[in-house]
A = this chain, B = another copy of it.
């Protein structure tokens, strides 16, 4: 239960690659796709969304590619995921298109999902790309 789509997973991994590379200049989509074993076409869509939410910027032409648009410590995993998949919405009655559920008032389970959602978002917002970078150097040691 509560599976995250591959979109979110690939997206975070791509951002992680970009963060690792951000002082060396742009990374081509081809390179990112190769490192992750994902198709270029699919990755394009994700990077597109991330670019539109200003988390990354792109540079065309030879030598171009993608770079993160903020420092790694300023980009939380929560930001990445909400750019790609919208806000956490455990139940429909909590999402942007809330409708149908007539028991909004006094609905105990709704409160439950709401507070779970908040817990998750809090967690995701406290973790940024720099944390992941540090985590990796720790693992490789």
Contacts and interface: CB of A to CB of B under 8 A. Distances in A.
A14 to B, nearest CB: 10
A33 interface: no
A92 B8 CA distance: 12
B120 A108 contact: no
B120 A136 contact: no
Nearest to A138: B108
A2 B120 contact: yes
Given A4-B1, A119-B123, A9 B109 contact: yes
Interface of A: 1-5, 8-9, 12-13, 16, 77, 81-82, 84-92, 106, 108-109, 111-113, 116-117, 119-120, 123-124, 127, 132, 135-136, 139-140
